[in-house]
Chain A
């Protein structure tokens, strides 16, 4: 029994040891080994740059789908309707047929991504001032973030009018329920402030390895566009005039603007950068959305491709080209005949370039181009008392490259109309048309233009619909539709949020 007792003592000691040894505090502290915690990030230049790059990455994703909201909705484009796909196609077609509702998934997607971008900017703007890097390095990163935030809010203000302005990351995500939309002026005040800061902080150019980042020129051009939109013409002229002194020029051949082998040329002010032909996930694939549905190999070069047939150049824009306009053949492909109907189905050619991997194209998306800046400059001059010689110089430079004769002797209003037409052709399928229409016309005029276009499409669609009838609501554009509806999901999650009229 003596041994038994000893054993018991040993046992109890052993049990106590086992019980106590396993309850270290760290045992319950686990973090994801595959990721970096947000708290520990943004500590130095490498990390700050990565955070900025991440926002460009969000911009890339926004760039992939923006054509639906800014081009497909306009008179520039129609669709190559897929009568067999009544599944997910109708939700994209609503942009063409002007029947967008608050439940639209693409609309929500854009809205979500834009605010996600703004959130990441807000986080980075809070953290980067604390990072271990030089003040100059901080300035460049902060300048880019503010440029991007200005751009994002500009998109939101254009799409939705009054928006929620948020400039700080929320500590408790539940605080998001407390935010309301504020008059659009609040957003514009922030946009102007951000872009002004960006102008001050950003360099005119970058070393070759960093080309693609937002520059001073990009910030000035966007600032000019914002002022123009706000009809602040002297300020717009002031900003855009500075752009002309930054070394940009029109490239002689219009096609080179879109040629992936000549990316970021002298005419490019700000492009969304993409790269295909590799495994890195940064490719674009616009042509796969835009090419006629049955064109597979003929347009994309890949037999297995099933393109979307979206953003199809409308008869309206095809007929709008002046005779001899060199841009027509660059912008619009008219060489594909449908095997189903035998009809020619036009397609956007600007983004159709050879690529070596299926579905991974090299095409950048132009956001701000020098020709845009020149035409805006002409517009801002014209709006301040009619066309001047300087204004003619800018528009005629753009026309000359297109092989078109110079203009002269126009009234202020004809010059305005001519400019609108010139912008429509020069910047066709570059997501400019919707904002141009909204800027240059009252909502009633926009409705009139689009209803006229719609009536034409209904009478004779650009692409044969193979027996699918139009719905009565198709192509009926009402004035309120110059603003998109706030996505339904936002209204559901925050029921005190107001919706735009008519939705």
Chain B
């Protein structure tokens, strides 16, 4: 504080009142030097020196001020400085993110020091909604990702940078598909029907609930996560699932550097994450036993070899194809290059970054590459006007597997195909169809599918931002900015005639699906801020107006009946259909915020946003989102002992309202069109034939709901932040309690209304939990050590659901089901509860009536106690909570003489996974290959196996949602291990670091599936809350990376 109040330069009237003094200090000092350099007199003697960081790299831009005078300089690119002194003086070294140091320097003797990172390094200044705040002044629940912690994580998607870094944020990597983003939930699932993904805001531009694939993670300078109401209510209307603020890199004043990063890596699916099916002889043996067991049970005699079809009589004769292994790409290469040029002059700052990332997938013939550029320019037109331009463009190509999730798709089918068959013909070519016989299903060869029927998409994305900022009347600042996103996506999927279907050998009709989509999104923000200081009071007032609109346009064509497979274009097909779509939304909002700080002791923030959305009915378009918070820095009170172990302590609390409108466009309106409302499928159009001619028919598609309005969440957050032991230790704790009301929910209604569901505002849910984060930073001799850990809990409860009943069931006919029921957590797994296996007929006779039960069948629990296990949901019960009760992340790092080592671990506990694929991979009737566990099935009362798996004599009660497939998901990931070495700088290079990283290194788990973070209910409709299903997925590889960072 003292620094900036003492420097009063008339040409920087606005800077004097900015709080962000540390960042600006070098700038001020530099300017000061420019002004007064010529004043230096002859008797001055020069002191030179070097300022380094803890790793020994030179720090550029460190401000060095002679204490008690106005004299100061900054370090150059190598961390070198020279300052003129007339007598021994104390020099104050300060640099953003580092502890200040004072050193008594004498003219003539060089000063070499190294600065230590602050306990809250890099988080000293926190990016918050529409601005920045000092960490010390934050009164809401805002967490930041320490970018230094995640810089070596192979950055295929920016969302991965959040994993394990921030408390209260659940980051799941459900699949290993290249470039695919993580699933992110902040503080639990707080909406039953309107999505639970946070809002991403990139450089002030509300981007949507998915960051997409096109931001280059290398270009990210900071990530802030806004968790409570007072932080996110300024984005009010869309903030109820939390907000993630991403800021891209820009050059700072006096920062001149060029850096080049490159890595090369390979990815493998480790053996222990591969699903183990039976091999050829085992499968033949299994089939043989299935025949024998049938004879034993149904004919009640010992089988003879004649009871077994000839092909299974000698199981040992068969070779094995491990289809799963066959489709995996071993040593899939990935590479990444990034060149950044930052040039920060006094009046003009420019940063240019070029990146290229290429990653081959863990499945053969899949891969992803992205080319990106970022240009961030800003400069002063004159002393009070600043303008800036940012362009962030990318082009990405994605070669995807045709379809990966679910039994009938590439990965699932590779598990259950006949392992006795070969993938290749005698001539070495791929056999397109792995025929089934004797009721075994026939499947397309998955390797041929990957090679010849992949799906390609290409995305070009351009984000731009222009702004003008005007400082006027000393305390005012006005910023007007326009953000745009232009996004272009093509998707093309050609399935040649050689591609088989399930039980359908080729040749088949070749098909082509091709689509082109555009998204345009604009927002215009006008922001007025007033900052002033009155004695010990500091005040910042912000008022703004924002309007945003998005339009999506798509043209799509499909064609079949191609004369050959050589011309995969729509023209060549003789049967074609096409469609086009267009939709969009608009929002407009006024907002304001007041931050008040009295004497760095009492902190108060109040914000308000009034937002209108095109998605709601007339009269309900606007919602009001207020929030308040208060903080007490008790440490700064006079009575607080300053000589204890504490170095800072702050209590804070916040309360406010945030909203959600994530329900798709036009839901409140009713339309007519030819689509069958029951299926929305293009093959059930409600047109008709009259007189042998097509006539157009239109039916009402959905009911109108003019009363539709904002979903609102009320969040209470209380917490404290403390620093201790000279800031070596930092600790934060939060309790939150968030109640979501008027949930936007597609509600089941009696079909006599004409429809099976409509979207309305019903019910409420509560999410509550605790969050802790701990940081530690110390140096033991030459060994630097830093660690951070976070731990969060979440508990949810459905308080109310209206509409027919107090529960919502998300179900398919087969497979996993979820239920949200009043009094229980959200989206519990739901199904029949298995009590074990029926051992004999007497047991069946004694038990409730269960259709189709024979000895060896699952014995199901009679949920409603009516004596009948009924084949619907009457007897189904809750089977477990798919949302982890707690999650945590641990970062540990050490450095020694240029070496650095860091380890990132993540974990989650006390939750359940429904391993849906087992309904097929443990399908006992012999139509599919089965898991090794199939050997432990029930064979007879004397050979009951492990008591878990049923007989092969029956298929009933094996395909319905049941507890048999529910497993504990508790796990601990060693996510990432990095070892690096930084060479001492030389004349050419400011920095050179080489490192090796292992990503997705090892997971400790009891779950039998490969990935405990899986979540692929492929059948889930939009907005449905159906977490926790594993229907087999794109495998998650382990990656080994060697990388290089050069700065010069």
Interface residues of A (CB under 8 A from B): 4, 7-8, 11, 15, 18-19, 22-23, 27-39, 41, 47, 49-58, 60-61, 83-88, 91, 99, 101-103, 105, 109, 111-113, 115-116, 118-120, 122-123, 164, 166, 169-170, 173-177, 179, 206-213, 263, 273-275, 278-282, 304, 306, 357-358, 466-467, 469, 471-473, 488-490, 492-495, 497
Assembled-state Cα–Cα distance A50/B852 (Å): 48
B973 within 8 A of A: no
Tell me which of B577, B665, B698, B809 contacts A279 (CB under 8 A). Answer: B577
Tell me which of A22, A118, A279 contacts B575 (CB under 8 A). Answer: A279
Tell me which of A83, A281, A358 contacts B685 (CB under 8 A). Answer: A281
Main secondary structure of the interface of B (DSSP, over half): loop
List the A residue with the shortest CB-CB distance to B615: A30
Q: Determine if B804 and A177 form an interchain contact, defined as CB atoms under 8 angstroms apart.
A: yes
Tell me which of A11, A47, A109 contacts B470 (CB under 8 A). Answer: A11
B752 within 8 A of A: yes
Assembled-state Cα–Cα distance A357/B695 (Å): 20
B475 within 8 A of A: no
Interface residues of B (CB under 8 A from A): 294, 298, 436, 439-441, 470, 472-473, 478, 480, 501, 503-504, 508-509, 524, 526, 528, 545, 547, 575-577, 580-588, 612-614, 618, 621, 665-666, 669-674, 676-678, 682-701, 703-705, 748-756, 758, 760, 803-805, 809, 813-814, 851-852, 870-873, 923, 925, 927, 955-956, 959
Q: In the complex, how many angstroms separate the beta carbon of B902 from the nearest chain A beta carbon?
A: 47
Assembled-state Cα–Cα distance A37/B701 (Å): 10
Tell me which of A8, A120, A173, A212 contacts B699 (CB under 8 A). Answer: A120
B694: chain A residues at CB < 8 Å are 275, 278, 280, 282
Assembled-state Cα–Cα distance A435/B805 (Å): 35
Q: Determine if A36 and B698 form an interchain contact, defined as CB atoms under 8 angstroms apart.
A: yes
Assembled-state Cα–Cα distance A103/B872 (Å): 5
Tell me which of B440, B673, B697 contacts A53 (CB under 8 A). Answer: B697
Instruction: List the 4 closest pairs (A to B, CB-CB), nearest first.
Output: A119-B754, A57-B686, A103-B872, A53-B697
Assembled-state Cα–Cα distance A56/B576 (Å): 25
A51: chain B residues at CB < 8 Å are 672, 697-699
Query: Which of B671, B673, B699, B748 has the most CB atoms of chain A within a 10 A radius of its CB?
Result: B699
CB within 8 Å: A-B pair count: 293
Tell me which of A61, A87, A112, A494 contacts B686 (CB under 8 A). Answer: A61
A56: chain B residues at CB < 8 Å are 688, 697
Tell me which of B684, B754, B803, B927 contacts A61 (CB under 8 A). Answer: B684
Q: In the complex, how many angstroms separate the beta carbon of B707 from the nearest chain A beta carbon?
A: 8
Q: Determine if A35 and B686 form an interchain contact, defined as CB atoms under 8 angstroms apart.
A: no
List the A residue with the shortest CB-CB distance to B871: A101
Q: In the complex, how many angstroms separate the beta carbon of A133 from the nearest chain B beta carbon?
A: 16
Tell me which of B436, B676, B805, B955 contacts A495 (CB under 8 A). Answer: B805
Q: Determine if B704 and A38 form an interchain contact, defined as CB atoms under 8 angstroms apart.
A: yes
Tell me which of A27, A30, A32, A53 contacts B696 (CB under 8 A). Answer: A53
B586: chain A residues at CB < 8 Å are 27-28, 30
11 intermolecular pairs with C-beta atoms under 8 Å apart? A19-B526, A23-B545, A30-B666, A54-B674, A58-B699, A86-B923, A173-B758, A177-B750, A263-B692, A488-B872, A493-B749
Assembled-state Cα–Cα distance A32/B691 (Å): 32
Q: Determine if A170 and B753 form an interchain contact, defined as CB atoms under 8 angstroms apart.
A: yes
Assembled-state Cα–Cα distance A27/B611 (Å): 13
Q: Determine if B750 and A211 form an interchain contact, defined as CB atoms under 8 angstroms apart.
A: no
B873: chain A residues at CB < 8 Å are 103, 488, 492
Assembled-state Cα–Cα distance A449/B885 (Å): 58
Q: In the complex, how many angstroms separate the beta carbon of A273 from the nearest chain B beta carbon?
A: 4
List the B residue with the shortest CB-CB distance to A39: B670
List the A residue with the shortest CB-CB distance to B683: A281
Assembled-state Cα–Cα distance A8/B703 (Å): 52
B575: chain A residues at CB < 8 Å are 279, 357
B674: chain A residues at CB < 8 Å are 54, 57
Q: In the complex, how many angstroms separate the beta carbon of B283 from the nearest chain A beta carbon?
A: 15
List the B residue with the shortest CB-CB distance to A53: B697
Query: Which of A34, A488, A497 has the most CB atoms of chain B within a 10 A radius of its CB?
Result: A34
Assembled-state Cα–Cα distance A349/B224 (Å): 68
Assembled-state Cα–Cα distance A50/B672 (Å): 10
A34: chain B residues at CB < 8 Å are 580-583, 673
Assembled-state Cα–Cα distance A332/B96 (Å): 87
List the A residue with the shortest CB-CB distance to B583: A32
A99: chain B residues at CB < 8 Å are 851
Q: Determine if A57 and B697 form an interchain contact, defined as CB atoms under 8 angstroms apart.
A: yes
Assembled-state Cα–Cα distance A281/B578 (Å): 13
Tell me which of A36, A49, A116 contacts B677 (CB under 8 A). Answer: A116
Q: Determine if B955 and A86 form an interchain contact, defined as CB atoms under 8 angstroms apart.
A: yes
Q: In the complex, how many angstroms separate the beta carbon of A382 from the nearest chain B beta carbon?
A: 37
B503: chain A residues at CB < 8 Å are 84, 306
Q: Determine if B756 and A112 form an interchain contact, defined as CB atoms under 8 angstroms apart.
A: yes
Q: In the complex, how many angstroms separate the beta carbon of B736 from the nearest chain A beta carbon?
A: 32
Q: In the complex, how many angstroms separate the beta carbon of B1048 from the nearest chain A beta carbon?
A: 43
Query: Which of A29, A103, A118 has the most CB atoms of chain B within a 10 A radius of its CB?
Result: A103
Tell me which of B528, B669, B814, B956 contacts A87 (CB under 8 A). Answer: B814
Q: Determine if B927 and A86 form an interchain contact, defined as CB atoms under 8 angstroms apart.
A: yes
Tell me which of A37, A173, A497 contacts B755 (CB under 8 A). Answer: A173
